[in-house]
Amino acid sequence: MLAIIGGSGVYNPSMLEKVKEIKVETPYGMITPLVGEYQGRDVVFLPRHGAKHTVPPHRINYQANLWGLRSMGVERIISTTAVGSLNPQMKPGDFVIIDQFLDFTKNRRSTFFEGGELGVVHVDYTEPYCPELRRVLLEAGRGMEVNLHDRGVYVCTEGPRFETPAEITMFSRLGGDLVGMTNVPEVVLAREVGICYATVSMVTNFAAGISAGPLSHEEVLEIMRENTDHLRTLLMKSLETIPVERACECKNAVQGGERLFSK
Ligand code: HPA
């Protein structure tokens, strides 16, 4: 099964048919994703900040989200994120299929493996995002009237505040291209439970100190609104072309990872 995790500005799975909300219990709390169909395939939609954007990035229950999706049988996730840009080539309105992250979060539960019976686990993140899903997204974006970048380093901050210009200068020197508040631990937990995960980041603004004036959440949402149609088209084209069987290695990221679910 496929899932879309919608970020800021993406709350509504308008491409899906027969949509219904379901409740999924997890050891971390309940989630209430929407389940529908797209061209005969089951697709789950989960708005990361809640249906009415009420949950800030540092309060999102990432563990419940990923555990819940995995327990529903989700094997692949495409997520969307709004991002600020540190890279002059990546401009507001551009899409970036990110390929690496830098983790500057501070206070999040970012693993399912807490030792004890489950053992001590160190997962490889050489390729954090699923290469097969990234290829699907890139191919879907070709031929569309959007600027699509085939790589990008996502810096994840704790938020919910925006960054200072000094922080942005630091991130830029460290090799960051984009800054956002949600991709970590989402990508990390997805890999721990063997789900393929890829992200479409949409640039909504140049980051603090690069942008001409102060930043606002309204500005972010406004650019997202202007580009929603492009994002929906990209997601639909991707859903149409995802191969039925997985040919990547994401499901084997943790040796014997199924034991998480057999407790
Ligand atoms: N910083 C952090 N997160 C963001 C930004 C930003 O400038 N724009 C959209 N999400």
CA 221 to CA 10: how far, in whole Å?
10
- Ligand 1: residues within 6 Å at CB? 82-84, 157, 162-163, 179-181, 204-205, 207, 215, 220
CA 193 to CA 35: how far, in whole Å?
20
Strand partners, 21: 34
Listing DSSP states for 31-80 in one string gives E--EEEEETTEEEEEEETTTTTT-S-GGG--HHHHHHHHHHTT--EEEEE
Band of pLDDT at residue 263, cut at 50, 70 and 90: low
Residue bearing tokens 């299929």: 97
**Ligand 1 atom index nearest CA of 181:** 3
**Ligand 1 atom index nearest CA of 180:** 3
Give the lowest-confidence range in 29-38, 40-49, 124-133, 219-228. 219-228
**Ligand 1 atom index nearest CA of 205:** 8
pLDDT at 15: 86
Any idea what the Cα angle at residue 248 is, between residues 141 and 182, rounded to 5°? Answer: 60
Across all residues in the chain, what is the average pLDDT? 94
Q: Give the start-to-end residue ranges of the domains of the chain.
A: 2-245
Strand partners, 24: 31
Nearest CA to ligand 1 atom 10: 83
pLDDT at 262: 78
Of residues 78 and 228, more confidence is placed in 78
Nearest CA to ligand 1 atom 5: 84
Cβ-proximal residues to 261 (8 Å cutoff; 6+ apart), any chain: 70, 71
Cβ-proximal residues to 157 (8 Å cutoff; 6+ apart), any chain: 104, 105, 163, 167, 179, 180, 181
pLDDT at 251: 95
- Which CATH fold topology does 2-245 show? Rossmann fold (3.40.50)
Of 80, 86, 163, the one to substitute when testing ligand 1's pocket (max ligand atoms within 8 A of C-beta) is 163
Distance in Å from the first CA to the final CA of the chain: 23
pLDDT at 25: 97
Prediction pTM value: 0.96
